[in-house]
A and B are shown apart, each in its own frame.
Chain A
């Protein structure tokens, strides 16, 4: 139930109107900076206590994945805006190349050389971290000596896996460029952002399928799982010492298995 002064429709209308104005101004060359399209924070605040419901949870995913779609629009829009501001006739090859350069830039490692997967693979990586947290293991990104060798090994494994995902994303982008070039050469053209997005998904899944079956990727993914598990023994030992109940190691209570390794 919503009250008339804070209804979802009111919120959505206000948000959309502001978006329309900001995009018109930017694409028309009136402003130099791209408008943000991410309503996540504002929407989360509005959703409030509804966030726990499945519908609200799926709605949050719709918002987040829709955001990935719109970031593609931003990259393309930045290229188009640059063209508009130059006052020249649209050079589609330049738009084409510039859009991909912008997207590729978002996939580059950071100053510390760490990979940060974006988009769907970034989501996959984040979901992995949620899984680790839900299992109750001390998933940490501290990587400090105090965290112990098992924790540091987990951080290293995480980074190696993230690096593999980032490699796949770069490969996917190149595949998309080749696919677009092939379509172009045969007379095809992309006529909507959605068509571009769908083509990108196809290219990304193809890149992923190829790399995900390689020994290197399998090793990185397995190493991540194994490193997470190796964080467990210290936690289990602490639990064993604190309780006298059965654990994963043995169904026998602690008192009956003194002397076990």
Chain B
């Protein structure tokens, strides 16, 4: 018979019936309190930083955020978010906002809001997004700032699209920042990549047209189902004494549930070219008849990645180092996950670090870009 006690003579469980009852009662009480609080909190809003829509086409809107104390030396910064999920993650709440942090550091900000694709958009291609929409947004921003090259910040898939743009139009970009951006889509630790390689994306897109946001939400949840669909809600018990904390939790839930459909053709191309062929790494991605060569990204590059990112593993981002042509390539490792890089308390210093990086290169980036004219 197995010794029921360990080296200290203690049993493996120190939970007697009384302790179990007490813990269950407390859990039930806090669960009940949490449900009541959630019901009574009402609605929560995201993306509350004041902004102005300055351009729109199709489902896209380009927003302008003006800092209270602008630094005129930096030039404008255009944020390109992923097509997946909503850019409200960059402005989740007042104390968890990449945009507010940038504004507080004096950076003038523009943001591409892709909107919600519908059946009319199902034939949009990656070329339409990169050489169409992004190019026109860059032109809009540049025209407001003396037609000079601008700073570009790409987030996740938006970073991949931004890299493509910077490679094809280096003369338009002064400095490039990528955040949690996949470049090598076939690193061994990339579960999402493994799943994507098993997908018949032609069947998906030919059957469905646009890819439903609900489906993508399910896939992301399926990457860590126990934490994301189970433990996360059990842990909510720990917050029920703090309505503000519960409100913050609700904001995250609202963002997660706000998932646009993906334009079918662009989705097909992205999965095939990036996940299945790893075309960025191999230099075989073509957009608009031109090959995307990351060697043509010669402006200063800051690559911010998250060390515990299960969606874009660090190596998937760090692969950029050996691919870009820039001789001013920097990395910043954020200790956290794919979402924590925007909403955790540790993330609050990232906007200032980005602005400092830009400020240190004012002048140098413009010079580099001009050499490609």
Contact = CB atoms under 8 A, between A and B. Distances in A.
B42 interface: yes
Interface in B193-245: 194-195, 197-200, 203-209, 212, 214-215, 217-218, 221-227, 229-234, 236-237
A213 B194 CA distance: 7
A93 B5 CA distance: 8
B229 A65 contact: yes
Interface string B23-48: 11101110111111011111110000
Given A23-B25, A92-B4, A222 B199 contact: yes
A69 B203 contact: no
A249 B208 CA distance: 9
A207 B32 CA distance: 32
Interface residues of B, number: 82
A16 B38 contact: no
Interface in A127-154: 127-128, 130-131, 134-135
Interface string A1-25: 0000000110010011001100110
A12 B226 CA distance: 27
A27 B23 contact: no
Nearest to A135: B212
A58 B203 contact: no
B225 A65 contact: no
Interface stretch (B8-16, B58-66, B281-289): B8-16
B57 interface: no
Interface in B46-92: none
A54 B1 CA distance: 52
Given A63-B31, A135-B208, A251 B194 contact: no
Interface stretch (B146-154, B176-184, B250-258, B319-327): B250-258
A3 B231 CA distance: 33
A186 interface: yes
Contact of A27 (B13, B21, B43): B21
Nearest to B218: A131
A148 B43 CA distance: 45
A95 B225 CA distance: 28
A43 interface: yes
Given A66-B234, A193-B24, A16 B206 contact: no
Contacts of A24: 21
B325 to A, nearest CB: 34
B264 interface: yes
Given A58-B253, A76-B20, A121-B225, A131 B25 contact: no
B250 A54 contact: yes
Contacts of A101: none
A135 B215 contact: yes
| Residue in B5, B18, B223, B224 whose Cβ sees the most chain A Cβ within 10 Å | B224
B35 A59 contact: yes
Contacts of A70: 24, 27-28
Given A27-B21, A183-B12, A219-B198, A248 B214 contact: no
A15 B32 CA distance: 9
Given A16-B32, A120-B230, A135-B212, A226 B14 contact: no
B161 to A, nearest CB: 24
A186 B225 contact: no
A158 interface: no
Contact of B32 (A12, A56, A119, A247): A12
A58 B20 contact: no
Interface of A: 8-9, 12, 15-16, 19-20, 23-24, 27-28, 37, 39, 43, 47, 50, 53-56, 58-59, 61-66, 68-70, 73, 76-77, 80-81, 84, 90-96, 119-121, 123-124, 127-128, 130-131, 134-135, 180-181, 183-194, 196-198, 201, 204-205, 208-209, 212-213, 218-219, 221-222, 225-226, 229-230, 232-233, 236, 246-249, 251
The 8 closest A-B pairs by CB, nearest first: A248-B209, A120-B230, A92-B11, A12-B32, A65-B233, A229-B207, A232-B207, A59-B38
Given A27-B20, A59-B35, 18 more contacts: A12-B32, A15-B32, A16-B32, A56-B39, A65-B229, A66-B233, A93-B2, A93-B4, A120-B230, A128-B218, A135-B214, A189-B13, A201-B231, A205-B226, A208-B225, A218-B198, A219-B198, A229-B200
